[in-house]
Structure 1
Amino acid sequence: TIISLGPSVIQVTSKVAVLFITVQYNVTISANEGLSEESVVNHFHHGLKDVATIFFYMLVAIIIHAIIQEYVLDKINRKMHFSKTKHSKFNESGQLSAFYLFSFGWGTSILISENFLSNPVSLWDGYPHTLMPFQMKFYFISQMGYWLHALPEIYFQKTKKEDVPRQLVYISLYLVHIAGAYVLNLNRLALVLLVLHCFVELLFHVSRLVYFSNEKRQTG
């Protein structure tokens, strides 16, 4: 038996897929570049549809987490023969090192491309900043998607019961602050703070990995 799907069904599913995959709430702004030239700039604001997009990228984060775990961290663990305690901490620092490195690099590129570093007054001038460039909005959606993915990972990674409260507090603090800044249109200031914070956390977790690889490396 052959079942044919009509164009109306395909249109409905494609619209639903777009809601999850693409960044929502596009606003087109015309900008005059010269006397006769006019360019179109796309900016975005936030709304309830962002919840669907965040959910999708949470699933993407789970997949990436699994890939890093299986093809990188598990191979190192087998070579190093860590104890169960070190095994868990090494996995945690390995995953977070990759995330913080990516977040720091991406956030820094946004700060440079949007001239926030060369013109720091723009961080607060004209608040509330209800519109964001694509890169900035996608950055915040990815951040929230990542920290939401950390909740089911507590179960997938079989985290010890005594470590669960610490993990929940850790994840909740990130979600509350990032989502709060996003909803309250404090995205520019939050971006600067996230870049600084990611750099510090990156140093910490890389040092932790160095220490686990050889306890004699106390400098780490």
Structure 2
Amino acid sequence: MGLRKKGSKNPPVLSHEFILQNHADMVSCVGMFFVLGLMFEGTAEVSIVFLTLQHGAPVPAGEAAAAGVRTLYHYGVKDLATVFFYTLVAIIVHSTLQDCVLDKIGRRMQFTKARQSKLNESGQLSVFYVVSCVWGTFILVSENCLADPTLLWRAPSHHLMTFQMKFFYISQLAYWFHSFPELYFQKIKKQDIPGQLIYIGLHLFHISGAYLLYLNHLGLLLLVLHYFVELLSHLCGLFYFSDENYQKGVSLWALVFISGRLVTLIVSIVTVGFHLAGSDSQTRNTTDTLTGNVNVLAAKIAVLSSSCSIQVYITWTLITVRVQRWVEDSTLQASNVKKKRSTSKGKSRKRTENGMETSNRVDSPPKRKEKSL
């Protein structure tokens, strides 16, 4: 059994290559400091802020028996520490999936760097979308949101969240925050970084907006719809990436994509419309930041306009991209037809010329060699 040979040159400590190769181990060491802090009495209180959910509020006995929970949560400044710790966890999970699954597939299939980069992006996001869709659907079912759609626009009087709802939003924020350092760890090209920053920023903006405005059920439903459409997008991309004969699957995804955006628009308009019509907070002019009440007319209009504008922007971007590809494909096909015609004409000319030459050689009598005396 042969041993694996180490590289002839090890990168210097804290150099660019060293950080790229060992960033998961370095992040694991940072995370272990918070875990080990639980073992000591002096640092346990600080470590708990990073590891567990904060800003819990006890529920009265009657409401706790009806809801089946004893503690509900609201948001606060300490959530930033929790998001930071789970951002470290997301970096570790990302690196583990990259090393144990995606890199092995790339080596076995002998992908080029461009194909390996595409596999890494689609593979990581596909796993995240699958987990988020299953987890989000479980929360919607367990909190009777699908059975009682009025929960989407009927805001609770206490403005509190369950444990699983808050942990879901904390995990979502942590994942998208971890995407910023991953741009450096994955060696993303400079020309692709602005688009990636916009993509990540839009997710953080809408997730944090639903979290801060206590639109938890609405935000969760829209996230599940959005992630399901994006999951189909990456799966179709992977199939087309492996075999270009899956063009019909890509076209089917475009229809599903537009349908998902339309459903998202309808849900947003219906939810905010009923919320505006049935809320008694329309007469309030300012938000009560002490009680966390942001259920006012201005906030609802901002949510509706933001949701509608981003869906229209995404749909318009898809349509323009599809039209550009269609024009490029049509021009490419036209150029290929012209090339085939020109090559066929050239071959026919050569054939006629060769025919004339052979006929001349046949008609002309062969030359006899003179015998030497």
TM-score (norm 1): 0.89
**Deviation digits for residues 6-48 of structure 1, max 9, x if unmatched?**
xxx9222111110000000111113438xx9996521100000
**Deviation digits for residues 174-210 of structure 1, max 9, x if unmatched?**
1111111111111111011001111111111111122
Higher-strand-fraction structure? 1
**Deviation digits for residues 129-165 of structure 1, max 9, x if unmatched?**
7200000000000000000000000000000111111
Q: After TM superposition, list the pairs within 5 Å mapping 1:55-204 onto structure 2.
A: 55-126=84-155, 130-204=159-233
Task: Tell me the amino acid that sits aligned with residue 32 of structure 1.
Answer: G
TM-score (norm 2): 0.54
**Deviation digits for residues 51-106 of structure 1, max 9, x if unmatched?**
00000000000000001100110011112222222221111000000000000000
Q: After TM superposition, list the pairs within 5 Å mapping 1:14-25 onto structure 2.
A: 14-25=44-55
User: In 2, distance between residues paired with 1:126 and 1:58?
Assistant: 29
User: In 2, distance between residues paired with 1:103 and 1:150?
Assistant: 16
Instruction: Find out whether 1:54 has 2:83 as its counterpart.
Output: yes
User: In 1, distance between residues paired with 2:117 and 2:234?
Assistant: 13
Q: 1:119 to 1:31 in 2, by over 3 A?
A: farther
Task: Tell me the amino acid that sits aligned with residue 47 of structure 1.
Answer: G
Q: Do the aligned residues in 2 keep the contact of 1:93 with 1:209 (CA within 8 Å)? A: yes
User: In 1, distance between residues paired with 2:147 and 2:66?
Assistant: 26
User: In 2, distance between residues paired with 1:42 and 1:211?
Assistant: 48
- 1:32 alignment partner, SS class: helix
Task: Tell me the amino acid that sits aligned with residue 29 of structure 1.
Answer: V
Q: Which residue of 1 aligns with 2:322?
A: none
User: In 2, distance between residues paired with 1:38 and 1:166?
Assistant: 43
**Max radius of gyration: which structure?**
2
Instruction: Find out whether 1:26 has 2:56 as its counterpart.
Output: yes
Match for 2:41 among 11, 28, 38? 11
Task: Tell me the amino acid that sits aligned with residue 56 of structure 2.
Answer: N
- 2:70 alignment partner, SS class: strand
Higher-helix-fraction structure? 2
Structure 2: segments with no counterpart, 5+ residues? 1-38, 250-373
Say what the alpha-carbon RMSD is for the aligned residues. 2.1
Name whichever of 109-118 and 77-86 sits farther off: 77-86
